[in-house]
């Protein structure tokens, strides 16, 4: 049994793959990952940028699409939808076998819509209509404009992966949007699913930079601790939010908890263990979406043990970090802005690269 299979069977945590490319679908590599224990897939504009620009896998179809009169952007979406459908096919047996717990593939709306509630709702509805698979998650960023969009789409009965969560306060808003969306939805709720993607390593990168600038012994001793502490605090919020009378009434209608998903779990600091953000955030009813290089490292030498609510964790770590002069809400706002900007840049760069490929392929 691989460590990924053990992670789910013994700790009830679902390991997902944070990457997707056409060659993996065609070659059988993605199926091998699933056999090894991967239970879902996440994608984003940066992932597709790398897949489409680093290989020639998409050139033939791109040429056909452009020749048929499609624009570069229309062609991009057709290429993406084909990849998503291929991954959905491979994961559908797991979706059925797990009764809709896992087997999902996530596709993000156009990142330029992150601050436009009506357009986000329209784009997400279109993607759900276009693909129309029960194991599709449409990803919506947890921006101020994204929160009401999430509520509306959940009330529509759509399954949503809420992405780019960087603060505990915003996470509570995401949970409220999910719960109120369910309450606005009529009838059986069992076909609605959602995860809340809490970004991990990027938090340490920014917080540690600020602690380094502060430079005191206390500040330096807190480096590498903020992200895991925040993830564990989020888990406590999850456990308290999905219990009690309000949740019980929704659960009776078939509602599923909105599982926390740990995202951005590759280690950015080479001084940290390469499986740090997997090993230290293991707990039931959670998901960890992991880049393939980190998945390989975890399979090789990761530790399968419940750590999400470890007694060794100091609950006052976040307070200590703030007392040293790091404003965690300010950090979260900056990371959200950077995250949205990064995805927009990847999306625009990809369209430009595809345009250049089209010009080259025509010659």
Give catalytic residues, as residue numbers: 139
Residue 184 phi, psi (nearest 5): -85, -10
SS3 (DSSP) at 141? strand
Residues 6+ apart with CB under 8 A from 100: 134, 135, 190, 191, 193, 256
Q: Is the Cβ–Cβ distance between 282 and 306 less than 8 Å?
A: yes
SS (H, E, C) 327-350: CHHHHHHHHHHHHHHHHHHHHHHH
Alpha carbon 262 to chain centroid, angstroms: 7
The sign one gets for the Cα dihedral 247, 308, 235, 39 is negative
Element (H, E) at 5: helix 3-11
d(CA 60, CA 56): 8
Burial (0-12, 13-18, 19+ Cβ within 10 Å), 8: middle
């Amino acid at each position: 049994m691989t460590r990924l299979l053990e992670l789910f069977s013994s700790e009830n945590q679902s390991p997902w793959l944070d990457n997707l490319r056409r060659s993996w679908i065609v070659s059988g590599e993605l199926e091998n990952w699933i056999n090894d224990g991967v239970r879902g897939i996440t994608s984003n504009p940066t992932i597709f940028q790398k897949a489409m620009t680093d290989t020639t896998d998409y050139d033939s179809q791109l040429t056909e699409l452009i020749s048929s009169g499609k624009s570069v952007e229309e062609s991009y979406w057709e290429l993406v939808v084909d990849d998503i459908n291929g991954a959905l096919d491979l994961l559908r047996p797991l979706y059925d076998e797990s009764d809709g717990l896992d087997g999902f593939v996530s596709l993000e709306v156009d990142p330029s819509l992150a601050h436009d509630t009506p357009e986000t709702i329209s784009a997400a509805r279109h993607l759900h209509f276009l693909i129309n698979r029960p194991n599709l998650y449409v990803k919506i960023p947890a921006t101020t404009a994204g929160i009401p969009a999430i509520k509306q789409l959940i009330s529509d009965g759509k399954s949503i992966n809420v992405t780019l969560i960087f603060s505990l306060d915003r996470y509570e808003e995401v949970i409220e949007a999910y719960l109120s969306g369910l309450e606005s939805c009529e009838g059986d709720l069992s076909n609605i699913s959602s995860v809340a993607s809490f970004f991990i390593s990027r938090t340490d990168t920014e917080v540690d930079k600020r602690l380094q600038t502060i430079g005191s012994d206390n500040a330096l001793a807190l480096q590498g601790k903020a992200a895991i502490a925040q993830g564990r605090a989020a888990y406590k919020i999850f456990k308290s939010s999905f219990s009690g009378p309000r949740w019980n009434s929704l659960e009776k209608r078939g509602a599923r908890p909105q599982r926390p998903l740990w995202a951005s779990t590759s280690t950015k600091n080479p001084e940290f263990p390469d499986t740090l953000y997997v090993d230290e955030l293991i707990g039931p009813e959670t998901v960890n979406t992991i880049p393939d290089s980190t998945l390989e490292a975890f399979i090789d030498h990761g530790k399968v043990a419940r750590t999400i609510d470890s007694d060794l964790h100091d609950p006052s770590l976040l307070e200590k970090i703030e007392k040293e002069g790091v404003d965690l809400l300010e950090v979260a706002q900056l990371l959200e802005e950077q995250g949205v900007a990064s995805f927009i840049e990847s999306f625009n760069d990809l369209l430009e690269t595809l345009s250049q490929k089209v010009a080259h392929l025509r010659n």
